[in-house]
Structure 1
Amino acid sequence: MPNMSNKKVEMPSQEPEIRATNFKEVALGYTKEMAQEEAARCLNCKKPRCVDGCPVNVPIPHFIQEVVNGDFEKAYEIITTENALPAICGRVCPQENQCEGKCIRGIKGESVAIGRLERFVADYHRDHGKPTETKIEKNGKKVAIVGSGPSGISCAGELAKRGYDVTVFEALHKTGGVLSYGIPEFRLPKDLVQAEIDGVADLGVKFETNVVVGRSITIDELQESGYDAVFVGAGAGLPRFQGIPGENLDGVYAANEFLTRVNLMKGYEFPKHPTPVKVADTVCVVGAGNVAMDAARTAKRLGAKNVYIVYRRSDAEIPARAEEVHHAKEEGIIFKLLTNPVAVHGDNGSVKALECVEMELGEPDASGRRRPIAKEGTNFTIDCGTVVIAIGQSPNPLIRQTTPGLDCQKWGGIIVEEETNHTSKEGVWAGGDVVTGAATVILAMGAGKKAAKAIDEKLSGE
């Protein structure tokens, strides 16, 4: 029978006071019974707007109906016709702004928990599914993928299914891109990331790590060595700083360095893993996006007693997902809103305090958000020993500096054709954060899929 409840089935999670002390996953997932109860809330709309809201066009009502029927393997098959990384997307996609944001049930209550159901199906398959052999006929064409993050993995998987010989070049020693180095273990377990990447490798995709394209080898050299197409999905790993005094003091981190030390290099298990991360009793995280929430919650788990989010706008303008903000507040993160840093003060070369000024909101700026304006005479300091700057990233300049004929934006993003993701350089496509700047996993995956389709059409002559 349909479940007409206006509320989602609640997902179990660790209690805040417990989870703030460990790196285990916060949300514990649905049981079979919970998943079927939630799936029964789907109205099976004739015109499913949820699919329109999904950047990779997963047939959402079809997989949900199979969950209702109890055929979780069939549900997995349906999802993976369009999405190669369902366990990841079920955890980190901003469903509230995409598929769930379009759900009809959300008009007079809460939308169907599409993300939680996707996660359940993927986890069930990983625990219970039987391996299947995929026989793919090769077409003799070679494609190079730069970067093993969401856009690169998505593009690689799509092309491998079409018979291409695909090699992914990853600059780091571990595949996964931002999925491995950027998102904490408590939000996205790394064994799960590896399992999904292994699924792409099972399609015949080859991975070469420790290859910095633009340094180890250039895009021109990839083309000269016989690759028929190149897709650039190198992400946005270059941190931005505010340019305030004291940002070079010991104890100031860029958020991606801080998170990489912890997530990829297991800094939370020092000295078992030899990557120390300096976390003082009081930590200030500058910014309020998802990366800032990840950094703040990580600092808490590393033993910081007081962790501040320092953000120059108000609560209404916080760009992070509502769920991440909610979890941060539950875990005791302190929000210093309408506050902007103006200097980092030090003692003997190390961070001692963060000087801030109070802000007020003026008229909307080009982004549509009200512009923050400093209030004169309101400077104050927060005594702290660690500062993490999480105000955004841009693409690393290495590829654009070593690739003649590749047109880029002033801020560094590669310019592509909207319909195909082809760049100004013949035979080179690009997508994900290296084009848009830091965005979401699923949007990067959508760009990878779009580029794969365009590459296939070009190389197959269709």
Structure 2
Amino acid sequence: MPNMQNEKTPMPFQDPTVRSKNFEEVALGYTKEMAIQEANRCLNCKHKPCMNGCPVHVHIPEFIQYLANDQIDEALHEIKLTNNFPSICGRVCPQESQCEKECVRGIKGEAVAIGRLERFVADHGEDKVTTVKTNGMKVGIIGSGPAGLSCAIDCAKAGFDVTIFEALHASGGVLTYGIPEFRLPKSIVKKEIDALRHYNVKIENNVIIGKIKTIEDLWDGGFKALFIGSGAGLPNFMNIPNENAVGVVSANEYLTRCNLMKAYDDRYDTPIAKPQHTIVVGGGNVAMDAARCARRLGDKVTLVYRRSLDEMPARKEEVEHAMEEGIDFKILTNPVAIEKDENGRVSGMTCVSMELGEPDEKGRRGVTVKENSEFNIACDYVIMAIGTSSNPLLKDSEKKLEVNKRGCIVVNEDQMTSIQSVYAGGDAVSGAATVILAMGAGKKAAESICKELL
């Protein structure tokens, strides 16, 4: 008989008073008993609505049934038929707006904790690595973020000789430089990337395609198809007065220093500010990551967001964790200027209060400024987390590569760009989005590469 409790099996978490000053993983994961208990809440629906909410169409009811029967290795194999990186996705996917949103159990209670179960299976199952016969054709992957990794492993499994070209000294893209250790331990990312070597995927770090090598160089090197997964690494700013003051940084820079360059670890010499009061501007997951890192490295942190909590795009769990860790939320608040002292350093922020308007055609409510609502907040550091744009390097160096007005690479239904046999996906195409959507794009591109070359 299924477990008919209406609530998810609770996840053990590190205590907020402890975790607000360390970078150890917050969510501690299910025990085996918890996982099996939660797996038994799955109704194994005939039409599998949860799968429709998954960008890579994981066989969700099937893997959960294996888990419910204590067949953890079989559950992992079932997941990996469509998702090569479950230990990452189980931690960072917005399941509540994807697979769990479609779960029938959510009609009268809480959805099955699909993400937590995926994480458990990935952490405790043993995968069977199969040998692949190579077909001798070379495929190049530009960028080792989630889109590039996904495309790479599917191409490798199809028999291609795959090489990933990564601009940074470490692989993983946003998984490594963007998402903090307390949400996605880098040991997990390393384990997943190391697994690529079972399929003879080669990774060349410190290679900037568009500078060190061109696409033409790759053709000359014998590559038959390329995939661009260069991400959205260009930070956006508000263009308000004094935004160039000392102490105003993008979330990209701040998180790169924290995560890739390990500024949180005293064994590394990476310089990073440890201010008395940091203001983070934004309401997405990147804003939450930046705010929670700042809380661990500084004293007071305030998050400023121009809409209400209901409109905040960040995952509900991340918002709750940020609040538990002592971060102050100033909603319906928008910056209009940065204040600086006589040395050009940040000394405060001038803000206005906002009012919600009517929903637009997408259902999102607009905002307008309240009259005579200007006020100041004293601070000594500001992190801008208001979005990113596609990395411009390739479009600037490859004039045949078509981009749209936002600078994102244009692709057709097969993920092919305006250049024959050059495919693209992830944030470089969509703009900043989720890890799993990027992986889905990489997977689709791999299918198209196989269709073209095999």
Q: TM-score, normalised by structure 1?
A: 0.96
Partner deviation per Cα, 1:115-157 (whole Å, 9 max, x = no partner): 00000001113xxx3x755311111111000000000000000
The answer (yes or no) to whether the contact 1:76–1:122 under 8 Å persists in 2 is yes
Matched, 1:111 2:105: no
How far apart, in 2, do the equivalents of 1:368 and 1:411 lie? 22
Alignment-derived partner of residue 422 in structure 2: 428
Superposed displacement of residue 362, structure 1: 2.5
The answer (yes or no) to whether the contact 1:11–1:30 under 8 Å persists in 2 is yes
Alignment-derived partner of residue 354 in structure 2: 359
Alignment-derived partner of residue 405 in structure 2: 410
How is 1:60-459 mapped onto 2 (pairs within 5 angstroms)?
Answer: 60-125=60-125, 129=126, 132-270=128-266, 272-304=267-299, 306-347=300-341, 348-365=343-360, 367-418=362-413, 420-459=414-453
Q: 1:179 to 1:314 in 2, by over 3 A?
A: same
How far apart, in 1, do the equivalents of 2:416 and 2:334 lie? 39
Partner deviation per Cα, 1:80-139 (whole Å, 9 max, x = no partner): 1111110000000000111111111111111110000000001113xxx3x755311111
How far apart, in 1, do the equivalents of 2:149 and 2:138 lie? 16
SS at match of 2:352: strand
Amino acid aligned to 1:39: A
Moved over 4 A (4+): none
How far apart, in 1, do the equivalents of 2:297 and 2:13 lie? 20
The answer (yes or no) to whether the contact 1:233–1:431 under 8 Å persists in 2 is yes
The answer (yes or no) to whether the contact 1:233–1:433 under 8 Å persists in 2 is yes
Can you give the 5+ residue segments of structure 1 that lack an aligned partner in the other structure?
none
The answer (yes or no) to whether the contact 2:77–2:128 under 8 Å persists in 1 is no
How far apart, in 1, do the equivalents of 2:184 and 2:362 lie? 30
How far apart, in 2, do the equivalents of 1:59 and 1:292 lie? 32
Alignment-derived partner of residue 54 in structure 2: 54
Matched, 1:21 2:21: yes
Partner deviation per Cα, 1:220-255 (whole Å, 9 max, x = no partner): 221222110000001100000000111111111100
Superposed displacement of residue 377, structure 1: 1.9
Can you give the 5+ residue segments of structure 2 that lack an aligned partner in the other structure?
none
How far apart, in 2, do the equivalents of 1:456 and 1:311 lie? 44
SS at match of 1:438: coil
How far apart, in 2, do the equivalents of 1:447 and 1:111 lie? 26
Superposed displacement of residue 218, structure 1: 1.3
SS at match of 1:202: helix
SS at match of 2:108: coil
Amino acid aligned to 2:181: E
How far apart, in 1, do the equivalents of 2:444 and 2:283 lie? 30
Superposed displacement of residue 366, structure 1: 5.8
SS at match of 2:216: helix
SS at match of 1:76: helix
Amino acid aligned to 2:289: D
SS at match of 2:264: helix
Amino acid aligned to 2:32: K
Matched, 1:36 2:30: no
Superposed displacement of residue 279, structure 1: 2.6
Amino acid aligned to 1:153: L
How far apart, in 1, do the equivalents of 2:105 and 2:194 lie? 36
How far apart, in 2, do the equivalents of 1:106 and 1:369 lie? 23
The answer (yes or no) to whether the contact 1:417–1:423 under 8 Å persists in 2 is yes
Amino acid aligned to 1:291: V
Superposed displacement of residue 303, structure 1: 2.7
Q: TM-score, normalised by structure 2?
A: 0.98
How far apart, in 2, do the equivalents of 1:393 and 1:451 lie? 23
SS at match of 1:268: coil
The answer (yes or no) to whether the contact 1:84–1:200 under 8 Å persists in 2 is no
Amino acid aligned to 1:396: N
The answer (yes or no) to whether the contact 2:277–2:298 under 8 Å persists in 1 is no
How far apart, in 2, do the equivalents of 1:258 and 1:316 lie? 27
Partner deviation per Cα, 1:328-362 (whole Å, 9 max, x = no partner): 11111111111110111111021110111111122
How far apart, in 2, do the equivalents of 1:398 and 1:17 lie? 43
SS at match of 1:269: coil
How far apart, in 1, do the equivalents of 2:5 and 2:417 lie? 48
SS at match of 2:151: helix
How far apart, in 1, do the equivalents of 2:199 and 2:281 lie? 41
Amino acid aligned to 2:85: L
SS at match of 2:339: strand
How far apart, in 1, do the equivalents of 2:361 and 2:4 lie? 42
Superposed displacement of residue 278, structure 1: 0.7
Q: 1:17 to 1:395 in 2, by over 3 A?
A: same
Aligned residues, how many? 453
